[in-house]
Amino acid sequence: MKKTKEISDAELEVMQILWKHNRPMKVQEVCDELVEGKWEYRTVATLLIRMREKGAVECKKDNKVNVYTPVLDKDNYTKSQTKNFVQKLYNGSVKDLAVSLFNSDDMSEKDIEEIRRMFKL
């Protein structure tokens, strides 16, 4: 399997917007989607350039304006990052991750019941 490129947390926020729209987007369109104008135009443009260099997005001209499209597949990236997370924090044990989630205060009884139904437990 091809190793997935690592992207930063900030780049991931931009990537989430590109994945959500799944079409070529201008830098300003990405900026408009960020919560409460989180970053300036120049910052988003720099992130997109870095992401292009990493092979996560492609850049094309549309009427003399750069537009960016995701190249990095969301499902593959998510699977890869989940696997890395489990390996780093739980020594590769999905069971230990599940136990940690069940024991956390963040999981409601409703969540647990829904999981039981999903897995017929």
CATH number at residue 60: 1.10.10.10
Mean pLDDT by runs of 10 across the 121 residues of the chain is: 71 96 96 85 96 95 95 93 92 88 84 86 73
Whether residue 78 sits in one domain with residue 60: no
Number of H helices, E strands in the chain: 6, 3
Q: Which of 52, 48, 31, 49 is nearest to 40 (CA)?
A: 31
Sheet architecture: strand order including 65-70: 25-26, 65-70, 57-62
CATH number, domain of 82, equals 1.10.4040
In residues, how long is the chain? 121
Q: Rounded to an integer, what distance in angstroms lies between the CA atom of residue 58 and that of residue 63?
A: 16
End-to-end CA distance of the chain: 32
The CA distance from 85 to 79, in Å, is 10
Q: pLDDT value at position 79?
A: 93
> Is 88 part of a structural domain of the chain?
yes
**Would you say residue 93 lies in a domain?**
yes
